[in-house]
């Protein structure tokens, strides 16, 4: 039986951060996809049938950073409605309404899970 889970897409160039955050969120029952930059994330999103419920994106990345990714996402009719939270050392969200939320570094696992839980459902909840 196919479930309509709302997964999380995590975009960060640091493989250690991707691994730790993805593992922590998965331990709480959420499905996580990862990308190492904005270009890879756009490629993943364009291939998906079921879009994620939330995108977490780091601002400073090589190849395609957070601002460029958010700008292109906003221009894409199918992707623009996906809520986005930026991972940033600054508590100020990007200008021009590019992201709905800011997760200010350093952040706690509880803060991360609270944001993920607003937009994504754990796999255990969808299995019933």
Q: What domains can you pick out in the chain, each with its CATH number?
A: 8-89+99-108+120-126 (3.40.50.2300)
CA gap 117, 103 in Å, rounded: 14
Q: Is-contact 99 74, C-beta < 8 A? A: no
pLDDT at 52 over 80: yes
CA gap 106, 108 in Å, rounded: 7
- For residues 96 and 109, the model is more confident at 109
Average pLDDT in the chain: 87
- For residues 84 and 93, the model is more confident at 84
- For the chain, how many residues are written? 128
In this prediction, residue 59 carries a pLDDT of 86
């Amino acid at each position: 039986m196919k479930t309509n889970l709302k997964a999380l897409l995590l975009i960060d160039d640091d493989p250690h951060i991707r691994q730790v955050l993805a593992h922590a969120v998965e331990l709480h029952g959420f499905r996580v996809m990862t990308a190492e930059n904005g270009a890879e994330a756009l490629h993943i999103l364009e291939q998906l049938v079921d879009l994620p419920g939330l995108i977490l994106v780091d601002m400073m990345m090589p190849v395609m950073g957070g601002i460029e990714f958010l700008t292109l996402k906003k221009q894409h009719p199918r992707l623009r409605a996906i809520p986005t939270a930026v991972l940033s050392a600054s508590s100020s969200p990007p200008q021009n309404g590019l992201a709905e939320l800011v997760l200010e570094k350093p952040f706690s696992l509880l803060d991360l899970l609270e944001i993920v839980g607003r937009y994504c459902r754990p796999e255990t909840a969808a299995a019933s």
